[in-house]
């Protein structure tokens, strides 16, 4: 398992900007047309050219739009978690990521976010493979083909544990699908090409070799990356890594960098890890996975010496009423084999267990107090939200219901000040009015400088304390002259004139 060097950042290769295991399916795959890679050094350039030419028509650019909104009011601990996650994402995606909390107030307006990534067509009916982090939070997804034609995605489904996603589009014509290769056949030193849309400049091709296999970075929960020195930059996420036969053998996902850009260390998810997950996402939109219910720790040199073992994974925790507890697994057991396969590291075990069929007993061999113990364990389907990655994809609990009113001509939604809203926004008891819950991007209210989290105290010099009073005060005003709003922001009061749109 790799350790992250001090000062090194693992970067998801996606551009962000601000505006304000099931059975295998049969994919509609093209027949192999390229010959084996050319052998002589003088022919290497031609080999690159032919491989790129073969796959480029299947590479797409993806734009993922998350609509602007006011962050829902929630508890302090959860709000702090959001702030921490925002700073982590800023390290990954750069300072272009918009701040989630407007004007220093909690629950502020989150501007519209536009992320760009890449993808590859794997079925001519309109099935595109990309990364989960490219589309997971999107409200709208648009795919741009090599022809320049843009298609709105009709659906997308994600697996956050492996960072894999499927996007589906509809087209009147069959789309050019890339040929899928065998990542297990790739070896260190093999030439590869990385294709994608870095920095949203347009589809590009870079070359390199496979530097290592089976790499882990702790970016995602299930990992076994192909490491390459092919240049991958923000925007390349989801694009294909191909061999010189023009076959997709990986999906570009992340880079390791001290500079924030390409430093010669790029990571791709092996296509053989992707296929079974993609099949499930295509057919059902979800992924069924198994679990044992244990906490694991890799064995470093000191632990290997202490336990007198060369490989395996240390069990640190056994959760009650789980497959592992029912099988008799104990803390400090060292798992060395499952389902007949020897376990060399934590990543290998997690990937194997995730794909085991639920309800089918499997052999499990552990070392306990230096002795080999054989057990039988029956994996079960993993509960919803069992891991951190899966929790992030769960639907949030219903927010507190408050009175709300939307004024379309002003492009604004306001809500009453409940005790919870007042607490989250840090409002004093003396502050009366209605809170701006959301402003429409480019609407009259936003153009006038009003933002989410502002408190409107009066409308046309008439105090308002409920959304209904807000609406009535607007009706009494002169739309042609504009509406005079008194706004409380960060303890200060200001007057704003808003002219409704026609």
Q: Which residue has the higher pLDDT, 501 or 376?
A: 376
Residues 222 and 332 placed together within one structural domain of the fold: no
Distance CA 483, CA 404 (A): 19
Q: Residue 241's pLDDT is what?
A: 98
74: in domain = no
Options 118, 133, 416, 458, the catalytic residue: 133
Residues 262 and 324 placed together within one structural domain of the fold: no
Residue 92, SS3?
Answer: helix
396: in domain = no
Q: Kindly give the residue spans of alpha helices, DSSP state H, lying in 249-295.
A: 271-283
Distance CA 131, CA 324 (A): 31
Distance CA 350, CA 221 (A): 9
Q: What is the pLDDT of residues 276-333, one digit of tens each?
A: 999 999 999 999 999 999 999 999 999 999 899 999 999 999 999 999 999 999 999 9
Residues 217 and 328 placed together within one structural domain of the fold: no
Average pLDDT of the segment spanning 42-49:
88
99: in domain = no
Q: Residue 459's pLDDT is what?
A: 95
Q: For residue 429, how many other CB atoms are within 10 A of its CB?
A: 7
What's the token pair of residue 376? 């039988």
Q: In whole angstroms, how far apart are CA 178 and each of 174, 240, 375?
A: 12, 9, 44
Options 118, 224, 237, 256, the catalytic residue: 237
Average pLDDT of the segment spanning 154-173:
95
State yes or no: pLDDT of 196 exceeds 90.
yes
Residues 6 or more apart whose Cβ sits within 8 Å of residue 451: 102, 103, 108, 109, 436, 439
Count CA atoms closer than 13 A to 368's CA, side-chain side: 12
Q: In whole angstroms, how far apart are CA 340 and each of 65, 106, 343?
A: 45, 53, 9
Q: Residue 2's pLDDT is what?
A: 38
Nearest to 294 by CA among 259, 322, 270: 322
Query: Residue 11 — very low, low, confident or very high, per pLDDT cuts 50/70/90?
Result: low
DSSP annotation of 443 reads S
Q: Residue 501's pLDDT is what?
A: 85
pTM attached to this predicted model? 0.68
Backbone angles phi, psi at 87, to 5 degrees: -65, -35
Contact by Cβ (8 Å): 467, 458: no
Q: Which residue has the higher pLDDT, 378 or 76?
A: 378
What's the token pair of residue 373? 């113990």
Nearest to 382 by CA among 361, 362, 353, 347: 353
Between 51-60, 85-94, 347-356, the lowest mean confidence (pLDDT) is in 85-94
Query: Residue 82 — very low, low, confident or very high, per pLDDT cuts 50/70/90?
Result: very low
What region, left, alpha or beta, does residue 81 occupy, with left being phi > 0 and alpha being psi -120 to 50 degrees? Answer: alpha
Query: Residue 74 — very low, low, confident or very high, per pLDDT cuts 50/70/90?
Result: very low
Average pLDDT of the segment spanning 441-452:
89
Stretch (H or E) spanning 502: none
**Which CATH number characterizes residue 303's domain?**
2.30.42.10
Residues 269 and 411 placed together within one structural domain of the fold: no
> In the chain, what is the straight-line distance between the N-terminal and C-terminal CA atoms, in Å?
61
Distance CA 205, CA 180 (A): 18
Q: In whole angstroms, how far apart are CA 467 and each of 412, 437, 464?
A: 11, 11, 8
Residues 129 and 262 placed together within one structural domain of the fold: yes
- Check if 263 is active-site: no
Residues 207 and 269 placed together within one structural domain of the fold: yes
Structural domains counted in the chain: 3
Query: Residue 77 — very low, low, confident or very high, per pLDDT cuts 50/70/90?
Result: very low
Q: Residue 341's pLDDT is what?
A: 96
Is 131 flagged in the annotation as binding?
no
Options 123, 159, 163, 279, the catalytic residue: 163
Q: Residue 393's pLDDT is what?
A: 66
Domain final position from 252, 285, 318: 285
Q: Kindly give the residue spans of alpha helices, DSSP state H, lying in 309-428.
A: 323-327, 346-355, 388-392, 419-425
Contact by Cβ (8 Å): 289, 384: no
Residues 302 and 227 placed together within one structural domain of the fold: no
Residues 300 and 357 placed together within one structural domain of the fold: yes
- Check if 256 is active-site: no
Mean pLDDT of the chain: 84
Backbone angles phi, psi at 277, to 5 degrees: -65, -45
What's the token pair of residue 75? 């508890």
Is 499 flagged in the annotation as binding?
no
State yes or no: pLDDT of 400 exceeds 70.
no
Residues 6 or more apart whose Cβ sits within 8 Å of residue 168: 126, 127, 128, 153, 154, 155, 156, 282
Query: Residue 492 — very low, low, confident or very high, per pLDDT cuts 50/70/90?
Result: confident
Q: What is the pLDDT of residues 106-121, one digit of tens each?
A: 444 566 788 999 999 9
DSSP annotation of 428 reads -
Distance CA 283, CA 136 (A): 18
Q: Which residue has the higher pLDDT, 73 or 272?
A: 272
What region, left, alpha or beta, does residue 253 occupy, with left being phi > 0 and alpha being psi -120 to 50 degrees? Answer: alpha
Average pLDDT of the segment spanning 237-249:
97
Specify which of 248-257, 370-379, 396-405 reaches the highest per-range mean pLDDT: 370-379
Distance CA 317, CA 325 (A): 10
| Residue whose token pair is 């890339």 | 178
Q: Residue 104's pLDDT is what?
A: 36
Distance CA 133, CA 386 (A): 19
Residues 318 and 463 placed together within one structural domain of the fold: no
State yes or no: pLDDT of 86 exceeds 60.
no
Domain that holds residue 314: 290-381
Residue 232, SS3?
Answer: coil
Between 36-40, 384-388, 438-442, the lowest mean confidence (pLDDT) is in 36-40
207: in domain = yes
162: in domain = yes
Q: Residue 277's pLDDT is what?
A: 94
- Share of residues in the chain with pLDDT > 90 (%): 63
Residues 59 and 152 placed together within one structural domain of the fold: yes
Query: Residue 85 — very low, low, confident or very high, per pLDDT cuts 50/70/90?
Result: very low
State yes or no: pLDDT of 197 exceeds 70.
yes
Q: Residue 33's pLDDT is what?
A: 63
The DSSP bridge partners found for residue 120 are 59, 129
State yes or no: pLDDT of 246 exceeds 90.
yes
Distance CA 168, CA 123 (A): 10
Domain final position from 251, 285, 319: 285
Residues 191 and 204 placed together within one structural domain of the fold: yes
Residue 275, SS3?
Answer: helix
Is 189 flagged in the annotation as binding?
no
Residues in the chain: 502
- Check if 237 is active-site: yes
78: in domain = no
Average pLDDT of the segment spanning 339-347:
94
Residues 443 and 366 placed together within one structural domain of the fold: no
Backbone angles phi, psi at 3, to 5 degrees: -105, 145
Is 321 flagged in the annotation as binding?
no
399: in domain = no
Is 236 flagged in the annotation as binding?
yes
Domain final position from 285, 313, 343: 285
State yes or no: pLDDT of 465 exceeds 70.
yes
247: in domain = yes
Query: Residue 34 — very low, low, confident or very high, per pLDDT cuts 50/70/90?
Result: low
Average pLDDT of the segment spanning 480-493:
87
**Which CATH number characterizes residue 26's domain?**
2.40.10.120
């Amino acid at each position: 398992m790799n350790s992250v060097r001090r000062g090194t950042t693992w970067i998801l290769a996606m551009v962000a900007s601000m505006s304000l295991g099931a059975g295998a399916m049969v994919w509609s795959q093209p027949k192999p047309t390229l010959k084996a890679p050319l052998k002589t050094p003088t022919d290497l350039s031609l080999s690159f050219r032919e491989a790129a030419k073969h796959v480029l028509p299947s590479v797409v650019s993806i734009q993922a739009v998350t609509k602007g909104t006011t962050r829902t009011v929630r508890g302090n601990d959860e709000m702090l978690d959001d702030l921490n996650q925002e700073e982590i994402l800023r390290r990954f995606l750069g300072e272009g990521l918009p701040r989630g909390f407007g004007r220093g107030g909690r629950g502020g307006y989150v501007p519209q976010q536009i992320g760009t990534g890449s993808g590859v067509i794997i079925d001519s009916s309109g099935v595109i493979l990309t990364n989960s982090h490219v589309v997971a939070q999107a409200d709208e997804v648009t795919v741009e083909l090599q022809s320049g034609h843009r298609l709105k995605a009709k659906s997308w489904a994600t697996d956050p544990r492996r960072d894999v996603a499927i996007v589906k589009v509809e087209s009147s014509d069959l789309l050019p699908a890339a040929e899928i290769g065998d990542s297990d056949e790739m070896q260190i030193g093999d030439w590869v090409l990385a294709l994608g849309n870095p920095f949203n400049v347009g589809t590009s091709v870079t070359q390199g070799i496979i530097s290592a296999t089976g790499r882990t970075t702790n970016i995602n929960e299930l990992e076994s990356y192909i490491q390459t020195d092919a240049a991958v930059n923000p925007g390349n996420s989801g694009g294909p890594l191909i061999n010189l036969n023009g076959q997709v053998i990986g999906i570009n996902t992340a880079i390791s960098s001290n500079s924030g850009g390409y430093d010669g260390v790029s990571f791709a998810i092996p296509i053989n890890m992707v296929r079974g997950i993609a099949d499930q996402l295509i057919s059902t939109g979800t992924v069924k996975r198994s679990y044992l219910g244990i906490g694991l720790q890799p064995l470093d040199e000191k632990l290997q010496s202490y336990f007198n073992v060369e490989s395996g994974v240390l069990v640190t925790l056994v959760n009650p009423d789980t497959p592992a507890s029912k099988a008799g697994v104990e803390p400090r057991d060292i798992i060395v084999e499952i389902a007949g396969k020897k376990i060399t590291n934590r990543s290998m075990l997690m990937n194997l267990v995730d794909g085991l069929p639920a309800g089918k007993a499997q052999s499990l061999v552990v070392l306990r107090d230096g002795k080999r113990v054989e057990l039988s364990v029956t994996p079960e389907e993993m509960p919803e939200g069992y891991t951190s990655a899966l929790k992030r994809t769960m639907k949030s609990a219903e927010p507190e219901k408050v009175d709300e009113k939307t004024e379309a001509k002003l492009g604004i939604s306001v809500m009453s000040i409940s005790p919870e809203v007042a607490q989250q926004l840090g409002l004093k008891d003396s502050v009366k009015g209605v809170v701006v819950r959301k402003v429409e991007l480019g609407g009259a209210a936003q153009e006038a400088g009003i933002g989410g989290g502002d408190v409107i105290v009066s409308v046309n010099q008439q105090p308002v304390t409920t959304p209904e009073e807000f609406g009535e005060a607007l009706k009494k005003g002169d739309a042609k002259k504009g509406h005079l709003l008194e706004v409380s922001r960060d303890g200060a009061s200001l007057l704003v004139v808003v002219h409704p749109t026609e």
